[in-house]
Amino acid sequence: MAAAAELSLLEKSLGLSKGNKYSAQGERQIPVLQTNNGPSLTGLTTIAAHLVKQANKEYLLGSTAEEKAIVQQWLEYRVTQVDGHSSKNDIHTLLKDLNSYLEDKVYLTGYNFTLADILLYYGLHRFIHYPGIRQHLSSVVFIKNRLYTNSH
Amino acid sequence: MRLFVSDGVPGCLPVLAAAGRARGRAEVLISTVGPEDCVVPFLTRPKVPVLQLDSGNYLFSTSAICRYFFLLSGWEQDDLTNQWLEWEATELQPALSAALYYLVVQGKKGEDVLGSVRRALTHIDHSLSRQNCPFLAGETESLADIVLWGALYPLLQDPAYLPEELSALHSWFQTLSTQEPCQRAAETVLKQQGVLALRPYLQKQPQPSPAEGRAVTNEPEEEELATLSEEEIAMAVTAWEKGLESLPPLRPQQNPVLPVAGERNVLITSALPYVNNVPHLGNIIGCVLSADVFARYSRLRQWNTLYLCGTDEYGTATETKALEEGLTPQEICDKYHIIHADIYRWFNISFDIFGRTTTPQQTKITQDIFQQLLKRGFVLQDTVEQLRCEHCARFLADRFVEGVCPFCGYEEARGDQCDKCGKLINAVELKKPQCKVCRSCPVVQSSQHLFLDLPKLEKRLEEWLGRTLPGSDWTPNAQFITRSWLRDGLKPRCITRDLKWGTPVPLEGFEDKVFYVWFDATIGYLSITANYTDQWERWWKNPEQVDLYQFMAKDNVPFHSLVFPCSALGAEDNYTLVSHLIATEYLNYEDGKFSKSRGVGVFGDMAQDTGIPADIWRFYLLYIRPEGQDSAFSWTDLLLKNNSELLNNLGNFINRAGMFVSKFFGGYVPEMVLTPDDQRLLAHVTLELQHYHQLLEKVRIRDALRSILTISRHGNQYIQVNEPWKRIKGSEADRQRAGTVTGLAVNIAALLSVMLQPYMPTVSATIQAQLQLPPPACSILLTNFLCTLPAGHQIGTVSPLFQKLENDQIESLRQRFGGGQGIFMVAGDNFVVLQAKTSPKPAVVETVTTAKPQQIQALMDEVTKQGNIVRELKAQKADKNEVAAEVAKLLDLKKQLAVAEGKPPEAPKGKKKK
């Protein structure tokens, strides 16, 4: 998924009404956002964090110092590891690592849903649906009923 | 909380520098671990630095750890810092790791290192000077500064890699480096060894992939498809439907190939390999193979093409070799010419001519050019002082003299350079010089020599370059090397040598001299053509009609861009000069250079013994062709590329497409009813095909190979999504859909077989035989994707194209070719042992007959056996003489083994070498 499309989806899920226009920079097509008040912002996670603040949903960036650092760590992981030019081998390692990390967690930070979960989900989407990878994993059944109401 | 760090791991620098921020807010315990320790339980690969939080959670990202420390100190996150850190992780780190790897692991210097990070450094410098702040995110030092400083410190602490002109970066870096926390972190991590402290860590990192190659991934991924306009799609469909009809008639084969007025006439040369060296893979990719791809491509375009090459045979080295082998120079050349020709035949190089320089035509043309130059006053005469060995009755080339270094007194200095102090030496200045062949003392004699007056020709050369370079496809390195020679000013070049084995100089007083190889080797292209056809001048004195492409490695550039053009311009005979000079960079072997003298690397004749087919070698060498920057041959990568790109991608697609036709449609291509999706695929394939053409027209051989792989990836996805194997069992509409998908796929396979022809000619022919592709479609490649296998076409028997390479197989090859301590080179069936650099006494070159690996193994077994005999005898306290005899046998065997392995034989104990 192109970064611009991903950011537009994020805007929608954050409830931001006006759609931003994104340009793309360089070979890797890094998204660039021209903000109204100030210089342009470059980079997927940078822009995503900016959008979260715009939507007044800072809690998605973590509440404590620890959570904030963890959110940023996984955002970095998304753009360096998940988006890196990974071979099938790398992808397997990556999925294995994530699986063992998430074994005792609901979300990446533990119990709170954050921007890291959103972007990592988008990033993994393309592997999970790639047949060669998918065949080793059972399909995940999504339950549409909300089991937990979000406190926020 | 606990911070795990490790010596010599770059990420520990910023983390330690930032740790102070947390002081007073949390207790940070610092533990030093090994760089390979797995601290984080959920990560497969080792990762340091790591911060274990009191909650039990881990931070394993350098930036996140630093961020956490800053957050604890009350700092608040902002967009600009986020942006710097994201840039650091995605842009700066890959560039920096490459630069550090080149510097520390590969021992490169200067621009080779700086080249990969220059853009990133400039970006920082510009940002600092544009915002006019001393720090990255404002007036005070903050998170972004520490993280970037820590990343850059190992490289920039060496002033050679902190470009002066980037003044804002310069002062920012100095400011941070002088701060106490930063200084302490640097001392802890680098231990005052500078960047070398990172060596153990960096050696374990994978070799960075060249930046250009990054756009192309090796594994199937959802690739971003370009958006297509309706017209593009419509045009692709029209072209497709025309099919075979749109193919022009095949050009009739001419013999000899001669330029034709009104056609595109392409003359292609590959640098002439020197006759008594067996070419290694670096030589092969550098010229003959690269030129071959272009020649084959040129023929597919129906351009009138002549591709020539040959062995360069004159010179000192041949003479010396002849002496050693007790043959005449001509016999040496005859012998090695055949070895060369065999190797290139095995690699399937499609020369129209593979000639040689020791022919009467060479003498005739060289002397003619010389006479023209002489007549026009472009030849100077001067006296040169040289060493002459009276005993051998010849002047000594620099490398055939040894003596005492005039600078440091080292006793075994060579005629051109002292191995001890490294200074360059003028051979006549050596004290106590010795002829390396006979060990007698040479005398200084002055000798008359001829010089080509390059300064006088410089202006014409510049005019010609001014006309030729703009819009041409000279590679950047060729342009750069040429410009740097011109910038330094051309000097007269000596064109004669005191030798016998060469082209005679047709001038009184020069009867004992010959032309120096660099003057007459490039004339070899002309004489080789002259031996092919008496109408050679139609190629070589026809600049209006002929497009000359010359292929070489970058060290050969000056002879082709300066020296030969000057000779040709000075001779004023309307010679065809190079239009496109294509120079490659160097190919390294694993981590070091291919080195004949150290026996490192794979040589042409050994490639055949690996059991890996020539086409696989061609593919891999072209895949890593050092285009634009040096690249490296790696066994693991060869295995990976074979198994992923050839087997899983290309081979898999072509095989599946063919199998569906055979299995579901009885071997007949089914009817195709194109849906809009199919039409879009047609247009994508067409686009990629056109990209392939654009790249090959610019001789970007490596990049064009990517286009082939991209098309086959599209093909695989197309099959995967449409699942013809399921639809064939479905309804009538499903069956029709399966037919369309199969038909389109098999046509893509046919297109791929033609695009692949320049790269893998044998595989290409195999595919075409399997698909029974009609002959004209096999030999012509248009810029449009045509339906060359229409409905009803019957294909042949389909079978797999590639074989999987196994780890053990590759590992044993790596060990075989790894290059131990031995100093050997390989020439044909003989291992030729060159003297070790440090061995004092001569035996310039010693030839040992056939020592194939089996023989080495046999010798090893014998050594072991004999060793046991000796041990047993000693244990039995046997008779001294008996033991001594067996020990002598053992030593002799060991010596034989050492020689066979190419190691310098060990000196017997007690008689230490000086």
Q: Which residues from chain A sit within 8 angstroms of residue B644, using beta carbons?
A: 87-88
The C-alpha of A73 sits at a distance from chain B's nearest C-alpha, in angstroms, of: 5
The C-alpha of B87 sits at a distance from chain A's nearest C-alpha, in angstroms, of: 7
A51 contacts A93 by C-beta, under 8 angstroms: no
Cα distance between residue B102 and residue B118, in whole Å: 14
Average pLDDT of chain B, as a whole number: 85
Average pLDDT over every residue of B803-807: 91
Q: Which residues from chain A sit within 8 angstroms of residue B71, using beta carbons?
A: 65, 68-69
B696 contacts B627 by C-beta, under 8 angstroms: no
**Which among A30, A46, A66 has CB closest to B82?**
A46
**Which among A69, A96, A131 has CB closest to B67?**
A69
**Which residue, chain included where needed, has tokens 């065999």?**
B342
Q: For the segment B806-864, what is each residue's pLDDT rounded down to a tens digit?
A: 988 888 888 877 643 222 222 222 222 222 222 223 333 333 333 455 566 677 777 77
CA atoms within 13 A of residue B864's CA, in its CB half-sphere: 6
In B184-213, the residues whose Cβ lies within 8 Å of chain A are: 209
CA atoms within 13 A of residue B71's CA, in its CB half-sphere: 21
Cα distance between residue B101 and residue B94, in whole Å: 11
Q: Which residues from chain A sit within 8 angstroms of residue B87, using beta carbons?
A: 42-43
Cα distance between residue B354 and residue B358, in whole Å: 13
Q: For the segment B405-423, what is each residue's pLDDT rounded down to a tens digit?
A: 888 888 888 877 777 776 7
Inter-chain touch A42–B87, beta carbons under 8 Å: yes
SS3 of chain A: helix, strand, coil, percent, to 5 = 50, 10, 40
Of B211 and B495, more confident: B495
Inter-chain touch B224–A2, beta carbons under 8 Å: yes
Using the 8-state DSSP alphabet, how is residue B90 labeled? I
Q: CB-based contact (8 Å) between B67 and chain A?
A: yes
Cα distance between residue B500 and residue B828, in whole Å: 26
Helix (H) or strand (E) holding A23: strand A22-25
Q: Which residues pair with B655 in a beta bridge?
A: none
Residue B343, SS3?
helix
Q: Which residues from chain B sit within 8 angstroms of residue A85, using beta carbons?
A: 209, 214, 217-218
Q: How many CB atoms lie within 10 A of CB B439?
A: 12
Q: CB-based contact (8 Å) between B717 and chain A?
A: no
Cα distance between residue A36 and residue A50, in whole Å: 12
Q: For the segment B526-538, what is each residue's pLDDT rounded down to a tens digit?
A: 999 999 999 999 9
Residue B746 one-letter amino acid: V
Average pLDDT over every residue of A81-105: 83
B396 contacts B435 by C-beta, under 8 angstroms: yes
Q: Which residues from chain B sit within 8 angstroms of residue A79, using beta carbons?
A: 86, 89-90
Peptide bond into B256 cis (omega under 30): yes
| Terminal-to-terminal C-alpha distance of chain A | 29
- Number of cross-chain residue pairs from A and B with Cβ atoms under 8 Å apart: 106
Q: Which residues from chain B sit within 8 angstroms of residue A50, using beta carbons?
A: 79, 82
Q: Which residues from chain A sit within 8 angstroms of residue B83, using beta carbons?
A: 41-43, 46
Average pLDDT over every residue of A105-110: 90
Radius of gyration over alpha carbons of chain B, in Å? Answer: 32
Is B793 exposed, middle or buried, given 0-12, 13-18 or 19+ CB atoms closer than 10 A?
buried
Cα distance between residue B250 and residue B262, in whole Å: 17
Residue B458 one-letter amino acid: E
B429: Cβ–Cβ under 8 A, 6 or more apart, which residues? B406
Using the 8-state DSSP alphabet, how is residue B903 labeled? P
Ranges A77-86, B710-719, B769-778: which has the least confidence: A77-86
pLDDT at B867 over 60: yes
Query: The dihedral of CA A143, A145, A147, A148: what is its sign?
Result: positive
pLDDT at A145 over 70: no
Best B47, B53, B61, B147 member to test A by mutation, with max A CBs in 10 Å, is B61
Of B194 and B341, more confident: B341
Tokens of B577: 């000069």
Tokens of B729: 């069992």
Q: CB-based contact (8 Å) between B253 and chain A?
A: no
Cα distance between residue B521 and residue B271, in whole Å: 9
pTM of the predicted model as reported, rounded to 2 decimal places: 0.59
Inter-chain touch B218–A101, beta carbons under 8 Å: no
Confidence of residue B331 (pLDDT cuts 50, 70, 90): very high
Q: For the segment B226-272, what is each residue's pLDDT rounded down to a tens digit?
A: 567 788 889 999 999 999 988 988 888 888 999 999 999 999 999 99
Helix axes B143-156, B167-177, angle to 10 degrees: 100
Average pLDDT over every residue of B434-439: 85
A75 contacts A119 by C-beta, under 8 angstroms: yes
Cα distance between residue A32 and residue A23, in whole Å: 5
Tokens of B341: 């020709």
Inter-chain touch B85–A72, beta carbons under 8 Å: yes
Inter-chain touch B63–A131, beta carbons under 8 Å: no
Q: What is the dihedral of CA A7, A9, A11, A15, to 10 degrees?
A: -170
Q: For the segment B370-405, what is each residue's pLDDT rounded down to a tens digit?
A: 999 999 999 999 988 888 888 888 788 777 888 898
Inter-chain touch B67–A68, beta carbons under 8 Å: yes
Using the 8-state DSSP alphabet, how is residue B208 labeled? P
pLDDT at B908 (0 to 100): 39
